[in-house]
Homo-oligomer: A and B are copies of this chain.
Amino acid sequence: MKFIPVVRPYLTTRSILPENQETPISFTEGELISDLLFYRRNHFAYPNFISNFYSIPISGAVGLPKSFTLQEILTLPAKTIKVVLECAGNKRAFFDPKVFGEQWEKGAISQGYWKGVPLRSLFQHTGLRESATEVVFEGYDFGKRKDSNSIHNFVRSLPIGKALHPDTIIAYEYNGKPIPFKHGYPFRLIVPEWYAMASVKWIKQLIVIKNKFTGPFQSVDYVYYPDKEKDDGKFPVTTMNVNSTIQKPLDMEILDTGSYEVKGIAWTGKGMIAKVEISMDGGENWNTCDFRANSSDKYGWVSWNYHWSIHQKGEYTIMVRATDSENRMQPETPLWNRKGYGYNAMDRIKVKVE
């Protein structure tokens, strides 16, 4: 009898109730993250709803309120876009001083092809009143928050401009298959360029409003509080910061002398990645990494690599910094904030060559 054991990476468990598990970002193969290894981030237990007669009601500041059935949405013209979704708390574990909350390392990020209907085509059916300023998206997931005793659904809003952007879609497929239940089946909002709290799962209803939405997932959570105690200087979490992650080698890995392909990803919420630089000496000297940029894929990450020939034994601090087409570059130190959002300091690992 011969054994051919299968070796594969798994999600990294951060909590079970609600389920929070991160993508093993150093061990994923290829450009697309399979649904099995897509990170899972929940505020509550999974919702329990009947989807046979599923529909999405749109009400509020519209010309004609309307409920769209599943079948109606599936017959509207769709588009497929590669989008990276990154949890606003990705890399929270690296803040110094440390921040309370889920200790996400580098894997609260995934990407793949989302297929769906631009939200704007739904509004072509309902019309929009001139007074409309925001669209509120309610998910089926709900539960108790720590700061109140009442039950809240997960609800977020988008400014009307972002909601009407042709690439803001109501998605129903991921990588060519129906969206897995855990990732929002049957319909998930996909908001390219924004941190993923905006991409509401299990869409229950949409309400167009004339004022500013102030639900707790908008005005309490997902807000940058740069001060440890006070709320001074707070501002909302929206677009992703320019960022990068080294996938190979691993932090604290021991290597032989020889030739290596240093590999990683870089992404941004504004424009596209314009430059990725790497330093093998802790930031003194910088070299350019290779990657293929494709403007039609600007919502995805780029995979970069750098050929490293190393013959001198010793310890090396490898740093990577990405710059986007809006000229935003990763900072050396991140913006510390009390809830630990938007960490995007230059990525940094150490290796030892023996």
Q: Which residues of B contact A211 (CB under 8 A)?
A: none
Contacts of A290 in B (CB 8 A): none
Contact A352 B17 (CB under 8 A): no
Cβ of A10 under 8 Å from chain B: yes
Binary interface profile of A, 42-84, with partner B (CB < 8 Å = 1, else 0)?
Answer: 0000101011100000000000000000000000000000000
A16 CB–B CB distance under 8 Å: yes
Q: In the assembled complex, which residues on chain B have CB atoms less than 8 Å from the CB atom of A101?
A: 252, 254
Smallest CB gap from A8: residue in B: B16
Task: Point out the residues of chain B lying under 8 angstroms from A146, CB to CB.
Answer: 254, 256, 354
Q: Are the CB atoms of B2 and A27 closer together than 8 Å?
A: no
**Given that A146-B254, A181-B3, A182-B5 are contacting pairs, would A12 and B10 also be in contact in the complex, using a CB cutoff of 8 Å?**
yes
Which 4 pairs show the lowest CB-CB distances between chains A and B? A10-B10, A9-B13, A100-B352, A7-B19
How many chain A residues touch B (CB < 8 A): the figure is 45
Contact residues in B for A9 (Cβ distance below 8 Å) = 13, 16
Interface residues of A in 18-43 (CB under 8 A from B): 19, 21, 24, 26-27
B354 adjacent to A1 (CB under 8 Å): no
Check A98/B252 contact, CB under 8 A, given A7-B17, A46-B3, A181-B3.
yes
> In the complex, which residues of chain B have a beta carbon less than 8 angstroms from the beta carbon of A147?
354
Distance in angstroms from A346 CB to nearest chain B CB is 18
Task: List residues of chain B with CB within 8 A of the CB of A252.
Answer: 98-101, 103
Could you tell me if B5 and A13 are in contact, using CB atoms closer than 8 angstroms?
A: no
- Whether B12 pairs with A13 at a CB distance below 8 angstroms is yes
Interface residues of A (CB under 8 A from B): 1-5, 7-13, 15-17, 19, 21, 24, 26-27, 46, 48, 50-52, 98-101, 103, 146-147, 181-182, 185, 250-254, 256, 350-352, 354
Contact B1 A10 (CB under 8 A): no
Nearest-CB distance from A97 to chain B (Å)? 10
CA separation between A8 and B147, bound complex, in Å? 27
Contact of A7 (CB < 8 Å), options: B3, B16, B50, B350: B16
A2 touching B50, Cβ below 8 Å: yes
> Can you show 15 pairs from A to B with CB atoms below 8 A apart?
A2-B50, A3-B181, A3-B185, A4-B48, A5-B19, A7-B16, A7-B19, A8-B16, A10-B11, A10-B12, A12-B12, A103-B251, A146-B254, A146-B354, A147-B354
Using Cβ atoms and an 8 Å threshold, which residues of chain B touch A185? 3
A17 to B220, CA, bound (A): 44
Q: How far is the CB of A90 from chain B (nearest CB, A)?
A: 15
A182 contacts which chain B residues (CB < 8 A)? 5
B19 near A13: Cβ-Cβ < 8 Å: no
Choose among A3, A48, A99, A351 the residue with the greatest number of B CB atoms under 10 Å from its CB.
A3
Contacting residue for A1 out of B13, B17, B26, B52, CB 8 A: B52
Q: How far is the CB of A95 from chain B (nearest CB, A)?
A: 10
B residues near A21, Cβ cutoff 8 Å: 10
> Known contacts A3-B48, A5-B182; is A250 also within 8 Å of B15 by CB?
yes
Minimal beta-carbon separation of A203 from chain B (angstroms): 15
CA distance A256 to B145 in the complex (A): 10
In the complex with contacts A2-B50, A50-B2, A147-B354, A253-B100 CB distance below 8 A: yes
CB-contact partner of A46 in B5, B12, B250, under 8 A? B5
